[in-house]
Amino acid sequence: NAGVMQNPRHLVRRRGQEARLRCSPMKGHSHVYWYRQLPEEGLKFMVYLQKENIIDESGMPKERFSAEFPKEGPSILRIQQVVRGDSAAYFCASSPSLGGSGGPDTQYFGPGTRLTVL
């Protein structure tokens, strides 16, 4: 069973361009989470999605950022009109369910996409 896949691993964009980050969850996982890690900092939650639904986007910047997890295909994190402050590592995680008792299950993390904005 392949782990969580993210691509590209490295992405370079100029200011004002769009960045599209892809995440393929582990097989059988229907929950996807996106996190952002700035240099020398921990990971910060951005958004939690299930298939075709955004469950919690409380960590997403209100402008320029959007995420989707379509019925078919990978989850996409889209950043429009990138700025230098968007440079970071973006990690995706997936989990199979909310857990047997209805609580959170463990998350499996992908290798991350490192975005550099010039």
Partner 1 sequence: KQEVTQIPAALSVPEGENLVLNCSFTDSAIYNLQWFRQDPGKGLTSLLLIQSSQREQTSGRLNASLDKSSGRSTLYIAASQPGDSATYLCAVVYNFNKFYFGSGTKLNVKP
Instruction: Using CB under 8 A, list all residues that contact partner 1.
Output: 4, 31, 33, 35, 40-45, 48, 55-56, 91, 93, 95, 98, 103-112, 114
76: Cα within 13 Å, side-chain hemisphere: 13
Give the neighbor-by-neighbor strand order of the sheet with 19-24.
Answer: 5-7, 19-24, 75-79, 65-68
- Of residues 98 and 118, the one with the C-beta less far from partner 1: 98
For residue 81, the minimal CB distance to partner 1 (Å) is: 27
For residue 65, the minimal CB distance to partner 1 (Å) is: 17
Query: What contacts 72, CB < 8 A, 6 or more positions away?
Result: none
Q: Which of 89, 95, 107 is nearest to 21 (CA)?
A: 89
- Of residues 73 and 99, the one with the C-beta less far from partner 1: 99
- Of residues 15 and 44, the one with the C-beta less far from partner 1: 44
Q: Which of 1, 16, 23 is nearest to 92 (CA)?
A: 23
For residue 87, the minimal CB distance to partner 1 (Å) is: 15
- Of residues 3 and 64, the one with the C-beta less far from partner 1: 3
